[in-house]
Amino acid sequence: MNRGVIGVITALVVALATSLIAPSRSFAEVTHLSTDSRPSPTLGVDSARPEFSWTLELPEAYNARQTGYELHVSSDRAALEDGSSTSCWHSGFIASAKSFGAPYTGPALESSRRYYWRVDARWRGELASGELISGIARGYGEFVTGVLTPQEWQGQWITAERSDSDPLPLLFCRFELSHAPEEIVDAFLHSCGLGQQIVSVNDLRVDNSAGIDPGWTNYRKTCLYTTFDVTKELMEGAREASVSIALGNGMYNVPGGRYVKFTGSFGLPKAIAQLVIRYKDGAVQTIGTDEHWQTLPTGAVFSCVYGGDDLDFSHGVFSHDRLVATGVPVAAKACEGPGGALRAQGEPAVVGWQRVQPEETRVLEDGRIEANFGYNFAGRVILHVIPHEGDILQVDKAEMQGKPWAGHYDQYRFNRPLEADASNGTIRVETARISADKNYGAELSTEEELSPPFGYWGFQYAYIKGAGYEPDVTRAKELSASQSQITSIEAQRIGANLVSVGSFESDGAHLEAIDQMIDRSVRSNIVSLMTDCPHREKLGWLEETHLMGPSVMYRYDLHALFRKVCRDMTEAQLDDGMIPDIAPEYTRFQAGFFWSAEWSAACVQLPWYLYTWYGDESIISEQYPTMDRYVRYMSTIRDASGLVRAGLGDWYDWSEQKRHAGYSQHTPGELTATAFLCDNARKMAFFAQKLGKSDDARYYRNLYDEGRSAFIRAYWDAERSVVATGSQASYGFALAFDLVPEEGRAAAFENLLAEIEKWDYRMSCGEVAWPFVIRTLASFGRNDVLWKMIQRDNAPGYVHMLEHWGMKTLSETWDGPGSSMNHFMFGAIQEWFTSDIVGIQQTSDSVGFSELLLRPSPMPGKVERASGHFQTPYGDTSSAWSLKGASREFVWDVTVPFGAQALTSVPVKDEQTQVTIERVQGDATVTTQLTSQYESTSGDNPNRRLFRLGSGVYRITSAL
C-alpha cells in the first residue's frame, strides 16, 4: 500500500436505497468439503490424523463468520445422519472461525475402511437491512483410508521373469469371492505398479490415470500407491473375479534405445497390491500380490518415457482404452521392492483431460500424413485405424512444422495376434474402460483406436507414415486390403487432474491471449511434479515451483501437489543439507545445474506458500528439519564478504548481442543467491518462532541481518542509489527483498524505472528476477510501466511471441522459438493479472486469505474492464469492474467470502470523489456508510479510498 495516506474521512454515500427483498434462503450451506486437502470423497487417506476442511456460503449474509464447529466421524452414514451414534469420534464444540485444517483426534482409524464425516458449523451474520441472523450449517464428507501401517501390507512385490528386450508384462490374478457378490459392502484395491500402471478389475479398467500413475518419486525413499473403490465392479460381476495390472517403465526404468535425457533404472517393472473386500456379515477377504499371480507379455514391446512406445499386435492388442494379452501364462516371481516406503498418492492423478481435433490434416508428397493441432500441448496422438497385417505404422511428433524430434515416436506393428486355445493352456485377458461401448474383436480387420499406453509428449504436429488416410470408413475398409488406413486423427491432452480455482478476463490488449498462452504451458508441465518441458526434459526443476507458484495457485489448487514436491525435496537432500536443482534427482548434473540457490530455495518458499495461501500449519513442523538443514548449509557456502556462492543466477536474462546465453549476463550470481539466503532466513525465523524454537528464531534473525548487511556492503552504492550493475534484476531483487536501506528505496526505484526506460521497456531480466521486477513495479503503483513492458511487439516479450511467431504457448526463450516451445518459466505476469488488474490479494499478515486486499488497477484507455475470481480457503472471492461512459464511472462488483474480511481499495479521481457502496441482495440493493482513508498516488495510476468490508456481495461506484 502506498505511503500517501493523508487523512481519514467518512465516505459520502449518494445512492438511494431500494426496497429490500426477502432472502432466497435463510441458512448457510456447507460446500467444498475435503480431507487432507483433497476433495470429498477422498480415496487413499493414509495419515493417522487427517485434516478436514469446508467452506460456508450464504450470499444474502453480510459480516458473516463461523463462530465454532463440531466434527463427527463414523463408518456408518445412517447413524451419522440421524445422530444415533458417532460410532467413531465426536470432537465436541470447538470455538473457531477457521474452517480448514481441522484435525481428527479420535481413536486410531482402520485401514481400507470407508468413513463418513459431518461438520456442524455455527455461524452468525446480518442481512443487507442490518437484521442479525444465525444458525447451524451441516455438511457431509467421505474418505477411504489406505494401508495405515507397513505391517498391514499382505501383498508382496512381484514381477515377471524378463529383460528389457522383452515385452512389458501384465500381472493378473483370478480368484473366487468368499461370499456372493451381492453380499459385498465395500471393496478397495491399493496398487503400486512401478514404473507406471494400468489397473483393471473384472476386465474393467478402474484407473483414470492415463497410465502415468503412480507419481514419480525417488523410489528408494517413497513408492506411491493408488486406492481404487472397486465395490461396483465386484458387486456387478460373478463369483469368480480378477485383478490385473499392466506395467510400464516410466521414470522407474529408463533403459534408453532412442532419445533420452538420461538413462537409469531402479530395476525392472514390478508391483505390489492388495484388494480388501468387506461383506455384510463382517467378514473381510484380502487378495494380495504373491507367487499365485500370473503374468503374460503385453503388446507393449518397447516403452521409454522419453523415446516412445512400440506396440506389436502379435503379443496382444494394446489400444487406447483396452488391453488384450494372449498367451500361455507363467507364474509371477516374488522380488524385492526398490526400498521406498509405501505411501498413498495424495497429489492429483495424471489424466487425459481433453480431446482435441487437428486444425488441418494433409497428405504430404512422401506419403506421410501431417496433422496440425493448432498449438503445442502435452498429450498423445490417437489414431482410428483399420490395420493391414504386416504393416508398421509410425507416429513422429514435432513442436515445429516439418521438424520431428529425432528418436521420439510411437510404432504400431500389425502382426496377427495369437488366438486363445484352452487345449495348450493359452488364455486371453482383456480389459476395457467401464464407459467403453465398442464390441472389441481380436481380428486385425477391426477398426482400432490406438494411442501409446504409457508415454506422452509435447507437440503441435504429428507425422504418420506407413498408412493411408481415408476418412470414409467404407472406402477405408476396401483400401485396407493392401495398406492400413487411418480414418481419423485426434489427440488427448495429458496432465494432472487439477481443480480450477480462479479465472481472468479483461478487455486489455493481448491480456487474455497472454493469460491463455501461459495457462496452456502450465497445464502441459504439471504431472506429479512441475516439469521443465514435456518433450525433452520431464524433470522437476525446482525454481519454477516457487517463482511461478502464485501465478499457478491463482488458477489451480496446488495444495496436495506442493506437499508432494516438499517430500521430493526432503528425499533429494544430501547429507550436508544441500538440495539439488531437481527433485526427484534422477540424474546428477554439474556446476550450477547441480546446485543453485534460486532453485533449491523452493524448500523454504513452498512451505511458506502452503502456510500463507492454504493455512497449512502442519507443513511447517513436517518440513522444518529439511528447511533448517538447508538454510544452515547455505550459511556455510558464503565467501569472505558474506555472499553466497553463485549458481545459475538470473537464468536466461537477455541482451541484444547474446540473446539468451543461459547463465546470468547482467547480474552477479552471488546477488540473487544472497538475496534468497536473506529471504529464507527471514521466513525460517518466523517458522522457528511459531514452533516455539526461540534459539533457532534468534539464529535466523541474526543470519538475516548478516546477509542483508553483506548484500548492502557489496552491492549498494549510496551515492548514486545504484544496486550492483544497475540491471533490472539487481533492482528487482533488492527492492522486493528489502535489501536497500530505507532512505534509499525511493531513489533506487527511480533508477529501476530509468533502467527499464533505457531498454525501451524491454525485459532484460531472466526467469528468476522477472517475478520480483513485476512485484516491485506493482507495489510502487507503477502498473503503467508493466503495461508498456508486456505490450511491446519486438523481442523479447509476450506480444512478440503471439504476433510475430504466432505462438500459443510460452517459448523457453523470450525472443522466439527456442529448444522448447512449451516452457512456463516466464509466465509470472499471470500473477499480476489477478493480484493487480483484477485486484485480489491478501494483506501482508493474513493467512489463508482471511483478510483480503482488494485493489483493482483500471488504466483508462488501456484496461477498462476486468473480472476474475479466486477460491480461497474461506470461499470464493470475485472482482468484476468496468469503466462506464464518458465520465469514466468506475463500477465494481465484489464478493467477500463467508468468514473473511477485506481491505478494499477503491480507485477515485481525487479526494472529493464520491464513493457509493451498496449491499446487493438479489435484485435489490441497500446502501451502507463506512469509514475510509484517502491515498494519493502518482503517474498514470488512480488515487484511492480505502474501506474495510466484511463478507458479502457489494457494488461499489466512484469516478475516475
Full DSSP string of 570-614: HHH--TTS---SBSS--S---GGGT--HHHHTHHHHHHHHHHHHH
Give the confidence band of 447 by pLDDT, cuts at 50, 70, 90: confident
Name, in order, each residue with C-beta under 8 angstroms of 44's C-beta and a sequence gap of 6 or more.
Answer: 144, 145, 146, 190, 225, 226, 227, 344, 345, 346
Higher pLDDT, 653 or 941: 653
Q: Above 50 in pLDDT, residue 568?
A: yes
Lowest pLDDT segment from 566-575, 883-892, 931-940: 931-940
pLDDT at 885: 85
Q: Above 70 in pLDDT, residue 819?
A: yes
pLDDT at 13: 29
pLDDT at 927: 67
Q: Above 70 in pLDDT, residue 3?
A: no
Q: What is the pLDDT of residues 263-287, one digit of tens each?
A: 999 999 999 999 999 999 999 999 9
Contact yes or no for 903/946 (Cβ under 8 A): yes
Q: Nearest 5°: CA angle at 552, between 902 and 513? A: 100
- Mean pLDDT (whole number) for 456-469: 97
Amino acid, single-letter form, for residue 190 = H
Cell numbers 481419423 label which residue? 488
- Report the alpha-carbon distance of residue 408 to residue 395 in Å, rounded: 9
Q: Above 50 in pLDDT, residue 419?
A: yes
- Report the alpha-carbon distance of residue 381 to residue 455 in Å, rounded: 10
Give the confidence band of 306 by pLDDT, cuts at 50, 70, 90: very high
Give the confidence band of 324 by pLDDT, cuts at 50, 70, 90: confident
Lowest pLDDT segment from 62-76, 307-321, 390-404, 559-573: 307-321
Q: What is the pLDDT of residues 45-104, one digit of tens each?
A: 999 999 999 999 998 899 999 999 999 999 998 888 887 666 789 999 999 999 999 999
- Report the alpha-carbon distance of residue 154 to residue 275 in Å, rounded: 10
- Grid coordinates in use for 764? 532484460
- Report the alpha-carbon distance of residue 735 to residue 549 in Å, rounded: 20
Lowest pLDDT segment from 357-371, 770-784, 880-894, 925-939: 925-939
pLDDT at 263: 96
Name, in order, each residue with C-beta under 8 angstroms of 715's C-beta and a sequence gap of 6 or more.
Answer: 668, 671, 723, 724, 730, 734, 739
CB neighbour burial string for 446-474, b if at least 16 within 10 angstroms, e if fewer: ebbbbbbbbbbbbbbbbbbebbbbbeeee
pLDDT at 356: 95
Flag whether the pTM goes above 0.85.
Answer: yes
List of E strands, 105-162? 114-126, 132-145, 158-159
The average confidence (pLDDT) of the chain is 92
Q: Is 889 helix (H, G, I), strand (E, B) or coil?
A: strand
List of E strands, 414-511? 427-433, 448-450, 457-465, 468-469, 485-496, 502-506
For residue 239, count CB atoms less than 10 angstroms from its CB and return exposed for 0-12, middle for 13-18, buried for 19 or more: exposed
- Mean pLDDT (whole number) for 644-651: 98
- Report the alpha-carbon distance of residue 290 to residue 335 in Å, rounded: 9
- Mean pLDDT (whole number) for 571-594: 97
- Mean pLDDT (whole number) for 439-467: 79
Considering only the C-alpha atoms of the chain, give the largest distance between any 2 of them, rounded to a whole number of Å.
Answer: 95
Q: Above 60 in pLDDT, residue 434?
A: no
pLDDT at 191: 98
Give the confidence band of 938 by pLDDT, cuts at 50, 70, 90: low
pLDDT at 26: 52
- Report the alpha-carbon distance of residue 894 to residue 913 in Å, rounded: 20
Q: Above 80 in pLDDT, residue 17?
A: no
Give the confidence band of 925 by pLDDT, cuts at 50, 70, 90: low
Helices (H), 185-306: 231-235
- Mean pLDDT (whole number) for 699-706: 98
- Number of other residues whose CB lies within 10 A of the CB of residue 421: 12
**What percent of the chain has pLDDT above 90?**
84
pLDDT at 389: 92
Side-chain-side CA neighbours of 911 within 13 Å: the count stands at: 10
